[in-house]
Amino acid sequence: MKRKKRIAILTGGGDCPGINAVIRAITKKAILEYDMQIIGIKDGYEGLIHNKYRTLSYDDVSGIITLGGTILGTSKKANPFQYAVENGGQLKFEDRSHDVLKNIEALEIDCLVCIGGDGTLWITNRLYQEGVPVIGVPKTIDNDIRGTDITFGFDSAVAIATEGIDRIHTTAQSHHRIMFVEVMGHKAGWIALHSGIAGGGDVILIPEIPYQIDKIVQYIHQRRKRGRRFSIIVVAEGAKPVGGEVVIQKIVKESSDPIRLGGISLVLGEQLEKIISLETRAVVMGHLQRGGSPTPFDRVLATRLGSKAVDLMIEKSYGKMVSVQGDRLGDFPLSRVAEGPRLIPEDHELVTSAREIGVSFGV
C-alpha cells in the first residue's frame, strides 16, 4: 500500500497571535484535500534537535483559530547550527544540524513547514541548502520580513498597542505630562509607526530615523505655546539618538541572538525631565503585544497563508516562503528572505503623511 505523504510543522522564534490559525489551516487542508499525515514538532528547532513531536489530527486543530500563542510550543534559543551547550560551567556553541537531518529522515518527512520570523527562516534556508524540502510561512508582530507586504500577528500587535496609547491619552491630559508608550521593534519601527498614527501620538520614534533630543524638546515647547500641555511619545524599543546606541535590557548568552532591548522610554524620559519642567511617565507594552487572541484580520490572513503553504508543497516548490504581494498571495525565495529585515524607508508614505499632520520624528 502506498505510504501517505508526511509533513511536519514547526513554529520558531517569538510567539504571536495567529500561529494556531496557520497550523489549523495547514493540517485541515492537508488532511481533507490530500489525505496527508501531519507531524507537529514541539518547541521549534529544539524539537527537531531532540526528536520531540506529536501527531496532529483534524480534531486536534479544531477550535484553535481563536487561541494566541502556539499549541506546538516554540524557542528563540535553539539554532541547530549554533546550539548552546553548557560544559563544565562554560557555555559553548555546537553544530547540531546533523541531529536535525537524522531525525527528519527517521520521521520520513516529505516536507517541513517552518512558521517564523527572519531568524527562524534563516535557519530554514540553511536546512534547504542541506537538502531538506522546506516551505516557510512569515510570522512576526514586527512586520519586518523581506519579501512580504505584511505578516500575520502585526495587525493584532498594532491593535493592542493602539489601545494602550488610547488609554494613556486621558491620564496625560489630566496631569499635563509627557507620556511614553514603548512598543516592540528591534530594527524596524512598523508597530510604532502604525500604532502611533492610529493612537494620535505626537512624537513617533523609530529605529530607521535616529532622533535628536533637542528637536523633541523644541517640538514639545511648540505644543505648549499652542496650549497643548501634554504630549504622547510612541517609541520603538530599537530607537536611538543620532550617533548613539540602543538601550539594552539584558544579554541572553545562550541565544544565538543574545541582545534583548528595552527601556529606551525610561532613559529618554529622564533626559527630558532634566531639560524641561514637565513630568514624564513611561509605559512599556512589552509582551502584551504578543499575547491574546488574534484579530479577525490576522485569523483570515493566517488561514490564507497556511492554505497557500499546502499548495506550494503539492507543487514541490520548496525553498520558498509564502508571501503577501498586494492583495494576492505568492512566494519568495528563502535565500532572499535571509538577506535581512524589511525596514521603513525614510520617505515611506506613512512617514510623509504623519509629518504632514504635524507628527514629529525627532529630527
Catalytically active residues are: 142
Instruction: Give the helix ranges, DSSP H, for the chain.
Output: 19-34, 45-50, 58-61, 97-106, 118-129, 154-175, 190-198, 213-225, 264-275, 296-314, 334-337, 349-356
> Taking the CB of residue 316, how many other CB atoms lie within 10 A of it?
10
Hey, what's the cell of 101? 537531518
147: left (phi over 0), alpha (psi -120 to 50) or beta: left
Among 57, 179, 63, 45, which Cα is nearest to 122's?
A: 45
Among 216, 15, 197, which Cα is nearest to 116's?
A: 15
CA distance 303 to 22: 5
11: left (phi over 0), alpha (psi -120 to 50) or beta: beta
CA distance 183 to 287: 9
In contact, 252 and 77? CB cutoff 8 Å: yes
Q: Is 178 helix (H, G, I), strand (E, B) or coil?
A: strand
Hey, what's the cell of 41? 514538532
